[in-house]
Every structure is written in C-alpha cells, then in structure tokens.
Structure 1
Amino acid sequence: MAIVSPNFCAPYPIELGIVRKVMTITDGNFTVTDANGNLHFKVKEPLLSLSDKRVLMDASDNPILTLRENRVSLHDRWQVFRGKSTSQSDLVYTLKRSSMIQIMKPKLDIFLAENKEMKVCDFHVKGSWLDRSCVVYAGKSDVIVAQMHKKHTAQSILIGKSNFSVTVYPNVDFAFIVSLIVILDDINKEDSED
C-alpha cells in the first residue's frame, strides 16, 4: 500500500513516536521518531504567513509532502502533494470532513489522486486529539491500517509537549499516516478555537 513511496512501507508493524510542542516560536513543532528515537520526519509550518501550508520533511530536511488547506471549503478540504509542489500533477490525495456538520469527533474521508469522482473514499479517519486517539481505516470498511494513542509523560505537563504513539500496520505507508495526523491536529486546533 505505497501511497507516498515504497520506502515508507515495511512488512511488519511500525511504531512511531510523535512529539508536538504546544508553544513554539520556530517551525518544527512536530517531530516523528521510530521506537529507537531515530528522527524520521519533522513538519515545517508557516510562522507568520497567510498561507496555510505545511511541509513534511525527512530527517535530512528533504521535502516529502506539502499539505495545503483550502480555506474556502466548507468541508475542511486539504490537498497533499509530492515534495514542495502544489501542482495538480503532483497531487497524492485529498482529505475532507465526511460532512459539514460534525459534533465532537471529526470524521475525515481521504481520496487518492486517482479517485477523481470522490464518491467512495479510499481511507477514513475517526477520532481526535481531544479523545487522545484516532484510527485510520481502509475505505469505508472497519479494516484498521493505523492507530494513534496519547502517551502521558512529565514533559507534556511541564514543558508543553504532547506525545503520541502511532502503530502503522504492515505494508502501510507510514509517511501517508503521519501526514494524516498532522492534518487532524490542525483541524482540531481550528475546532477548539471556534
């Protein structure tokens, strides 16, 4: 199930740790490590910009995906592109809320670039930061491809860091899963400000 690249798929479950700094004055408030603490990804966000775009970078600062929100959409629509591109020819997937009106937990539908009609989603996400967990499913099924759970640490209380553990199931693209979690975090931040 390589969506971004076969390099981000493994024949066994992958455990990732995500640290989100609540307050930061620099970009890179998201870091993603493996179970051994090795850095895999970080997220570059605009500091003071009208653009609502994030770039998922690898440990060597190479851009993997660009995540861009469509601010005029009623469904919290996001488009995700390869590298630093925002060209439709580099579109990887589109994400949107399942419906405009959602109480409590967001439910998100993901449509891969080849799914141009967008009638049936390729993946869907249920859960939120507030629930401290989310689950990514294949299509409209109950087949789980990844799960995120909050880890409670002294750092989260003392210095404003949120730690999450993500289990990515075998042969599932973990760069794709990380990009979904970054978008879910942004949607939850917007929901809590409303």
Structure 2
Amino acid sequence: MTKVYPNAPSAESPSTPPSDLTADKEEVMTVWRKSLLFNCQGFTVFDGEGNLRFRVDSYSGGRNDEIVLMDSCGKPLFSIRRKRLSLTETWLIYDKEETVEPLSSVKKHVTLLPSKGLAHVTPCRPRSPHSYSVEGSYAQRSCTVYDGQRNTVAEIRRKEAPKGVALGGDVFRLVVQPGVDLSFNMAMVIVLEQMYGS
C-alpha cells in the first residue's frame, strides 16, 4: 500500500512543532484529508521532509460550524467559524481560540456567470493578513491563491505517488511561496473544504 508520507509519526508521539510558520523558501506540504486519531475526521499535514506540521481533528461527522487548526502538538493556531445569518456563505478566521474579533473573513464567490473565482479573503483587523482571492477548482485540487497585486501566494495541486499513481482527492499538495504564512494558507484550505468539499 502506498503511504501518504513515510515519516508520519503516530498520534501518541507528535513531532516538535516548527517555531517559524512563514516559508523562507517555496514550501511543498502534503495534505491528507484524514485525522490521525481513531474515529475522527479532519486533516493531517506533512512538510517536505515528512514531519507532521498541522492537524485538524473533528469528532462530529459532516460539515462543522467550528474547526480548530492545530500545530503538530495540538496547540491551537486558528479557529474557523461559520458566520451565521449571512447572505453568502462566509467563514471567519480567529487567532488561536478567540471568539471576539476575527482576523479575516472568507466569503464564497457567488455569480451567475461562469467564473474561476472560489472565495475572497478580507482582513478584519489592521494587522490581519492581506486580502486574497482564490481561483480554480477545489474539487479537482487545482486552486491558486492570489494577493491584492495578483501575485501567486499559494497553490493547491494534486499529488501522485512516485510511480505516477494518482492518490485521489483526499491527498494533495499545498505549495506556499516564500515569505507567506503557512498556517494561514492551511486555514484557507479548511474553509475551501467546508465550502466545496464533499
């Protein structure tokens, strides 16, 4: 059986979390749409060396209205909550486990015309991450995150096993450009899963 990533630690022995969450070079992470914990749903994310980088563990089935992105040791990085009573599907990203003032708002792109647009990210605080737009197809695992100047910040791409065998939609790559926050881009992947996932 093909492994998602060879250095995957067990849930009982998580690796030490990296101290810097900003990519200093292009970072290619493997995202597995599965929790390492038994009977949980979520995500497990490995860096390019096969070390556990991020995780999401959810005990409830189906869509969640609140999700926590954690580092490899289970320390909360972002809380992601669905905004209630919104005309378009909107998710709010909070720092760690805060519930008062969100860092950013992610709104699903809605149009009657054909469009590659998936979502728009808007800062909610002065020091929040910049505005982003996400285009492509999440179902095909082919998305690009652009900043306000249309520079590519991150990409979601399909992943193939070494012998060219496609691993399916549950395993894919998150490619983050230098100088960009890895964890915030993973938070956007979680929002896209809630908006466009199965």
Q: Report the TM-score when normalising by structure 1.
A: 0.77
- Rounded to whole Å, the distance in 1 between the matches of 2:96 and 2:113 is 32
| Residue number in structure 2 paired with 1:98 | 109
The answer (yes or no) to whether the contact 1:46–1:53 under 8 Å persists in 2 is: no
| Residue number in structure 1 paired with 2:68 | 55
What SS does the aligned partner of 2:33 have? strand
Could you say which structure has the higher helix fraction?
Answer: 1
Q: CA deviation at 1:70?
A: 1.6
Segments of structure 1 that go 5 or more residues without pairing to the other structure are 1-5, 116-120
- Rounded to whole Å, the distance in 2 between the matches of 1:50 and 1:35 is 29
In structure 2, the CA distance between the partners of 1:31 and 1:114, relative to structure 1 (3 Å rule), is same
The within-5 A match list for 1:126-165 is 126-139=135-148, 141-153=149-161, 156=167, 162-165=170-173
Q: CA deviation at 1:75?
A: 1.7
What SS does the aligned partner of 2:153 have? strand
2:18 corresponds to 1:10: no
| Residue number in structure 2 paired with 1:107 | 118
Query: Which of 105, 123, 126 is residue 132 of structure 2 equivalent to?
Result: 123
Which one is further off, 93-102 or 162-171?
Answer: 93-102
Higher relative contact order, structure no. (Cα contacts within 8 Å, ≥ 6 residues apart)? 1
The answer (yes or no) to whether the contact 1:149–1:166 under 8 Å persists in 2 is: yes
The answer (yes or no) to whether the contact 2:41–2:61 under 8 Å persists in 1 is: no
In structure 2, the CA distance between the partners of 1:102 and 1:95, relative to structure 1 (3 Å rule), is farther
- Post-superposition Cα deviations, 1:139-176, rounded to whole Å, max 9, x if no partner, equal 1x32101111011456946xxx7111111000000101
Which one is further off, 75-84 or 41-50?
Answer: 41-50
In structure 2, the CA distance between the partners of 1:104 and 1:124, relative to structure 1 (3 Å rule), is closer
Compute the RMSD of aligned alpha carbons: 2.8
2:47 corresponds to 1:34: yes
- Post-superposition Cα deviations, 1:52-87, rounded to whole Å, max 9, x if no partner, equal 100001101111100001242222111010111211
In structure 2, the CA distance between the partners of 1:123 and 1:25, relative to structure 1 (3 Å rule), is same
List 4+ stretches of structure 1 deviating above 3 A.
48-51, 98-106, 152-157
In structure 2, the CA distance between the partners of 1:182 and 1:155, relative to structure 1 (3 Å rule), is same
- Rounded to whole Å, the distance in 2 between the matches of 1:112 and 1:43 is 23
Q: Report the TM-score when normalising by structure 2.
A: 0.75
The answer (yes or no) to whether the contact 2:41–2:59 under 8 Å persists in 1 is: no
The answer (yes or no) to whether the contact 1:128–1:184 under 8 Å persists in 2 is: no
- Rounded to whole Å, the distance in 1 between the matches of 2:156 and 2:185 is 10
| Residue number in structure 1 paired with 2:196 | 188
| Residue number in structure 1 paired with 2:10 | none
- Rounded to whole Å, the distance in 1 between the matches of 2:196 and 2:146 is 19
In structure 2, the CA distance between the partners of 1:50 and 1:175, relative to structure 1 (3 Å rule), is closer
What SS does the aligned partner of 1:149 have? strand
